[in-house]
Amino acid sequence: SSRFRDCIEELDPGRHQFFPISVEDRHGALKPGPYFLFNVVGYIDSIIEAQSSLKALGREVSEAWIYQREVGPWQCAMDASIIGERACWTELHYGRRRFVSDRLAALFRQRKLTGFDLDDHCDEVSI
């Protein structure tokens, strides 16, 4: 939605891509928009492995190594100095999954945006 885009642009202006799309309800009627397809631009490697419930697979044999989630409770720490001022990003070694900063999650909650899951929190750690 434009409200979602506005939050991203407020904290991370000009970095990501928003492609306008039309949205129809199940009866084929156009929903009033605007709506966008959101593309997170930029890969970073901010995961602090020693403080996370993730293990590296293939690091010794491939540049395309990945993290795999270990069994048990979720725990993830990320290096705040690598995240910097980003509002959202994609983690290079964790299945190219998208992440949002604490600042962006707080803004989504403050503006009562819904339709996505913010339950798996990662600590933004200064090391």
* pLDDT value at residue 63: 87
Query: What secondary structure does DSSP assign to the chain, as a single string?
Result: -HHHHHHHHHHSTTTSEEEEE--B-TTSPBPPS-EEEEE---EE--B-GGGSSEEEESTTT-TT-EEEEPSSS---EEEHHHHTT-SEEEETTTTT-EEE-HHHHHHHHHTT--SS---S--EEE--
* pLDDT value at residue 127: 78
* pLDDT value at residue 105: 92
* pLDDT value at residue 61: 92
* pLDDT value at residue 45: 93
pLDDT tens for the 127 residues of the chain, in order: 999 999 999 999 999 999 999 999 999 999 998 999 999 998 999 999 999 999 999 999 998 899 999 999 989 999 999 999 999 999 999 987 889 999 999 999 999 998 888 877 888 888 7
* pLDDT value at residue 121: 80
* pLDDT value at residue 3: 94
